[in-house]
Amino acid sequence: MKIFKQIQEFNQPNTFVTIGTFDGVHLGHRKLLAHLKLRASEHQSQASVLTFWPHPKMVLSPTSNDLKLLNTIEERTELLKQTGIDNLIIMPFTKDFSKYEASFFIEEILVKQLKIKGLIIGYDHHFGYKRKGSVNCIAQQALKHHFFLEQIEAFSHNQINVSSTKIRSALMQGDIPLAGKYLSYNYMITGKVIAGKQIGRTIGFPTANILVEERYKLIPDFGVYATEIKLDNRILFGMVNIGYKPTVSQKNEIAIEVNIFNFNENIYNKQITLFLIEKIRNEKKFENLLQLQNQIHFDKIQIEQIIEKYNIPLR
């Protein structure tokens, strides 16, 4: 997959394009991308995705903390690469760009700069200033500029339309298996290992503290999870606690701590990725460290059973 970080860099002729933020690159997105590749192949063309970064809300509402995304731009790029598309165009989103009318965007960006042969859009696609670019508007432009246009139906799982919103809801409820079904992979959290208070080490369960620098990254419901871990291209397993650590901390700061099974290495400042498998319980405040230690023993036994049951390969 070729990556273009400016529209002006794109120089691939005969391309079929789809447009969107593709947060999660979930099953619905994958259906759309598979159809894009099919149509591109039928027309001896390349399959290209046009996405935007920063997310529009980051530009239009920069002080808001409401935005929660399933992927960082790095994660999204890797997930799109795995779908087998030919090109990824990451267009910078600016306030000036947000004011483009749909017809102007189609003529100046899609037709003149990308020179598209075809456009594949999802069932609910709107774009342009105030999202006025409806399918009827796009169809008029397709006739005017002579490019192929197709809109595909929503993807449903058990008669439920799959969407990023539904996945976020599942994660906030701690329903990791449901989110995983909609995503087609285990929800991931990537961060840097930083120093902590090393309390876990004193009770026999050393943990790596994970700093997630992207404030927009969605953190699931607080609690204890079974997790698969990618570290230095190795696959490991463990258990992670997400929350405020009420037994050992008075700070109102979210912490992500992972205990890696059968592991004893210094990994400070390394990047680590957690692939959540299943939540086993809510976060709880214990009266003392002994109670916490006993609970962690039970947690580990339960999580080892879950990992053995699922045996999920790294996505």
Region 219-228: what's the mean pLDDT? 97
Task: Give the confidence band of 313 by pLDDT, cuts at 50, 70, 90.
Answer: very low
pLDDT tens-place string over residues 61-73: 988 888 999 999 9
pTM for the model stands at 0.92
Cα(182)–Cα(177) distance, integer angstroms: 9
146: left (phi over 0), alpha (psi -120 to 50) or beta: left
Give the DSSP letter of residue 107: I
For residue 132, pLDDT beyond 70: no
Q: Are strands 271-281 and 15-19 parallel, antiparallel or unpaired?
A: unpaired
pLDDT tens, residue by residue, 171-214: 999 999 999 999 999 999 999 999 887 887 888 899 999 999 99
φ/ψ region of 48 (left if φ > 0, alpha if ψ in -120 to 50, else beta) reads beta
Angle at 82 between CA 315 and CA 306, to 5 degrees: 10
| Mean pLDDT of the chain, nearest integer | 92
Cα 272 to Cα 229: distance, rounded to the nearest angstrom: 7
- Reported in sequence order, the residue ranges of the chain that DSSP labels E, i.e. its strands, are 2-4, 15-19, 46-53, 87-92, 116-121, 148-151, 156-157, 160-161, 188-194, 208-211, 223-231, 234-243, 255-260, 271-281
- Cα 309 to chain centroid distance, Å, stands at 25
Answer yes or no: is pLDDT of 311 > 70: no
3-state DSSP assignment of residue 237:
strand
Rounded distance between C-alpha atoms, residue 191 and residue 256, angstroms = 10
The pLDDT score that the predictor gives to residue 315 is 41
Say how many C-beta atoms besides its own lie within 10 A of residue 92's C-beta: 12
Cα–Cα dist 17/84, whole Å: 14
* DSSP collapsed to 3 states, 14-33: CEEEEECCCCCCCHHHHHHH
Region 112-133 average pLDDT? 81
Domains of the chain as residue ranges with CATH:
2-160 (3.40.50.620), 186-310 (2.40.30.30)
Model confidence over 230-284: pLDDT tens digits? 999 999 999 999 998 877 776 778 999 999 999 999 999 999 999 999 999 999 9
The type of residue at 260 is I
Task: Say whether pLDDT at 47 is over 80.
Answer: yes
Lay out the sheet containing 148-151: strands in order across. 2-4, 87-92, 46-53, 15-19, 116-121, 148-151
Picking from 141, 135, 131, the residue whose alpha carbon sits closest to that of residue 109 is: 141
